[in-house]
Structure 1
Amino acid sequence: MTQIILDTLNQEISQLQYGQYPPELYEPIGYIMSLGGKRLRPVLTLLSSSLFDDNWQQFVKPAIAIEVFHNFTLMHDDIMDAAPLRRGKPTVHHKWNNNVAILSGDVMLVCAYELLLHVKPEKLPLALKKFNRCAAQVCEGQQLDMNFEQLPTVSEDEYINMIQLKTAVLLGLSLELGGILANAPLQQTDLLYQMGVAIGTGFQLKDDLLDVYGDQAKFGKQVGGDIIANKKTFLLIKALELAEGNSKVTLQSWLNATSFKAEEKVKEVTDIYNTLHIRSLTEVKMNEFFAEGLHCLDLLAVSEERKQPLRDFIERLIHREN
């Protein structure tokens, strides 16, 4: 079922028209949307709707609204992070320039709202309210992430709160929206939201892990980019908390360095992570959130048969390598 949903989404996305003139405004939108990705957010929306309504096909356009919004945030995030790659291809601001990427991203947000207009009229106010709150939270999370770059230390709780805002709430909305579209009871949509936030938190922790330990050919982004940029990821936060003696001095020297070879910094900091067993500590925390999300799925008042496609999809997320 998941593959059918994904094929349907990709076909619909390939046929979307964002606008034509001036081409410099619209071509970057088609470019970033054509890079594919996992489409996990709209897939979650449609899998969620299928828990309560067999006709999930009627909800494809609102589900794509989530994907367009997600890619809008990526286009702007890549500028702020000075990221060279997105899904193994040049980022929009590298292929064009920063100004084009900013303006095209703005139009993408408008396109997301246009797609949301396909929500049934009686459900539209609630869908818009949830979408708007989530969109604001994503921006709050991004601002906190940038703030953290200027702080000497960040606590684990502060970091978890930031990634829940920046990343996890959008997965929460994805699942919640599916329930809203399919007219699920409030208690069930609340569970869907909680499940998405928990899974999304684990998903971001996994992303942090893959940034250091992933295979770049599979990961699609620059491995070690977080280390190079001194990003306050869970791994760095735990390393700063646990490092002592020479490890602490060496780690701090790399964080303070203004001129360095990127490959050397990535190797040295990764060696410190290995010494402190940061990988296993991250995996433990990540799996706590995945377990919480699966528990919410268990609590949903629908048959196990209906839950199975969503459960299978979440299990694949948990074990992903990219």
Structure 2
Amino acid sequence: MPSSVMPTPSRADGHTPPAAISAAGLRKSYGDKVVLDGIDLVVPAGSVFSLLGPNGAGKTTTVQILSTLISADGGQARVAGHDLATDAQAVRAAIGVTGQFSAVDGLITGEENMLLMADLHHLPKAEGRRVTAELLERFDLVEAAKKPASTYSGGMKRRLDIAMTLVGSPRIIFLDEPTTGLDPRSRHTMWGIIRELVTGGVTVFLTTQYLEEADQLADRIAVLNNGKIAAEGTADELKRLVPGGHIRLRFTDPTAYQSAASTLRGATRDDEALAVQIPSDGTQRELRAVLDWLDSAGIEADELTVHTPDLDDVFFALTGDDVPTQPNQPKEAAR
């Protein structure tokens, strides 16, 4: 499928939201291995932007470049209004980063982890204690605050990790696969935390291997493949790039089935199942047209189902790879 990049939408007043993150032509290689081959990104302030891609596609490398952990080989980027190459210190002051692996020190308590982070941000002692107490309460960690972090569950460690990231009040947060390895309940808790952050005005740059996570959270999604952005847009825009949407009608009355199959244009027949499949983009208008036709023809279908492409279909079509799901993690239906 050819690559397709959707334009960043304007607000209702016609103005484009300010960019919290922008990048043009970012390149990175390790020896002969090209990891990023000139990618462009624009992340509006106060939104969730999700970067999807197969393992090894360069998602973590992108986060490491934009968070000043490593340097790009080429291209330009601005984060929080600061040039990445010339004002890295100002970028660091404006961002927080939660990586794939927890930064929590298991040998000390959750509270001590928070206070250590406050010291690293040079907060006065009283201010550090106040911020620590507020964040521990916000992330439901008050009861566990005095316990060694090594005793925390995976979900608790992730909550503490993000709480530590928020000590410095960052305007932009990079979350690199924040829910990998968490059980479904902990993942949903983390989704709620991410939504609250954005409601509070924080911009979230999210990489994930869970496609339903991007579908649930992201305002815009980019698919990274072979070092390039294969497509970018809202979840609905990306789904429309993939063909295969259809309405399926199943009948128990052979006469009704034959009438429908012979008169519905473009329908695919399934004589064994007594079913017809009609290409459709899943819109309400198309569904109403099919129902109106059935009524006018006096034909009653016993079962009607609508299939629209999901992000699994988009991912497979754009990357040619298996959909990335973690072992023992069932795929959840998007709501």
Q: Which has the higher strand share?
A: 2
Q: Which has the higher helix share?
A: 1
Greater Rg, structure 1 or structure 2? 2
What TM-score do the two structures reach when normalised by structure 1?
A: 0.26
What TM-score do the two structures reach when normalised by structure 2?
A: 0.25
